């Protein structure tokens, strides 16, 4: 991914913060993936490198919605033949639109004057929380059943209900995702 990305992370004290980190680690080990990463929902990618001159100022200047306006609800488990979507939990778009729209305005050509950011959220944005990055093929039915067992053991709710089915608010972070995965580090952070 060129440039950087804006991610939404669960609040640090929310039980899903630890639970999802553990699940990502177990999933990576299960499929022999060397890639470990913090649990996050990508809000947008392709943030220009120019933001790195003052990353915290850049993030602080974004008109992010209040925490109570951001409602993350986890949905279904999926696998695709895409490295960053090898295994992921879909996230309901409802409750994420305004945050994603504001994040997208930071991308060159994603501004508000022509409604590009709003249209991008409506037509292209598919929020998800990855559990595995890997070069392997799409995970088959047997592999998905094994992951479902891990999800059930963890107590994760994939119907968006209860404390383990999502969260309200969270932290928005800027991460240089054009770097190799093992070099991803938070450049700036803002709590909603």
The catalytic residue among 14, 30, 35, 40 is 40
* Choice among 14, 30, 35, 128 that is catalytic: 128
What is the CA angle 192-23-173, rounded to 5?
A: 25
30 is catalytic: no
Nearest by Cα to 79 from 71, 68, 90, 88: 88
pTM summary value: 0.90
Q: Is 60 helix (H, G, I), strand (E, B) or coil?
A: helix
**Domains identified in the chain, total number:** 1
pLDDT one-digit tens code per residue, 109-121: 555 656 888 888 9
Q: Any idea what DSSP says for residue 160?
A: S
Residue numbers of the domain that contains 170: 4-191
Count other C-beta atoms under 10 Å from residue 65's C-beta: 15
Helices (H), 64-106: 97-104
pLDDT averaged over 10-residue windows placed end to end, the chain, 192 residues: 85 94 91 90 87 86 95 92 87 95 79 75 94 83 88 86 92 91 91 96
Residue 134 designated active-site: no
**Which tokens is 106 given?**
């930071």
CATH of the domain at 171: 3.90.1140.10
pLDDT digits (tens, 9 = 90+) for 1-16: 468 999 999 999 999 9
């Amino acid at each position: 991914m060129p440039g950087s990305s804006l991610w939404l992370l669960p609040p640090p004290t929310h039980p899903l913060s630890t639970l999802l980190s553990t699940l990502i680690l177990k999933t990576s080990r299960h499929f022999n993936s060397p890639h470990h990463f913090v649990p996050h929902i990508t809000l947008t990618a392709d943030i220009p490198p120019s933001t790195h001159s003052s990353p915290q100022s850049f993030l602080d200047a974004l008109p992010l919605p209040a925490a109570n306006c951001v409602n993350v609800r986890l949905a279904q488990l999926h696998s695709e033949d895409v490295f960053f979507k090898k295994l992921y939990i879909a996230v309901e778009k409802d409750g994420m639109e305004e945050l994603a729209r504001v994040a997208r305005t930071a991308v060159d050509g994603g501004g508000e004057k022509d409604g590009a950011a709003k249209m991008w959220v409506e037509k292209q944005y598919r929020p998800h929380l990855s559990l595995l990055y890997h070069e392997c093929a799409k995970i088959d039915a047997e592999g998905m059943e094994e992951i479902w067992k891990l999800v059930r053991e963890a107590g994760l709710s994939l119907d968006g209900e209860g404390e383990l089915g999502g969260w309200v608010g969270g932290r928005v972070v800027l991460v240089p995702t054009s770097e190799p995965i093992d070099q991803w580090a938070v450049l700036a952070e803002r709590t909603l």
